[in-house]
Amino acid sequence: MSRLRVLVESELYTSKLGEIDEIERLDEAIRGCLLVIAMHAEAFPVVAGKRLRLAKTKMVYLDKLIPGLKVWFIIRDEDTVDLQYIEQDLDPFAI
């Protein structure tokens, strides 16, 4: 079973999270993304140097648009992940 790490928000992450448009079900997308990071942080690719990782979700259309997300984070230790930055990804061709 996977370990559930503690997620620590940086000031920049918290600031950017506050700037994300309120979209119905976006909170669910953020919670889902963060749960996967908390459980499987090491599964996401390193994107800069040796520590910064990126988790992405895809934009989907259900009855409303749910934008994709990009969340950058660092695995501090076995028990902690530091959330560095978050943004919406409105690119319909994002992978």
C-alpha 80, offset from chain centre: 15
* Contact between residue 88 and residue 68 where contact means Cβ atoms under 8 Å apart: yes
pLDDT in tens, the chain (95 residues): 567 999 999 999 999 988 886 665 678 788 889 999 999 999 999 997 889 999 998 888 777 777 889 999 999 999 999 999 999 887 666 55
| Residue 83 confidence (pLDDT) | 97
| Residue 23 confidence (pLDDT) | 60
pTM of the model: 0.85
| Residue 3 confidence (pLDDT) | 78
C-alpha 37, offset from chain centre: 7
What CATH code is assigned to 6-89? Answer: 3.30.2310.20
| Residue 42 confidence (pLDDT) | 94
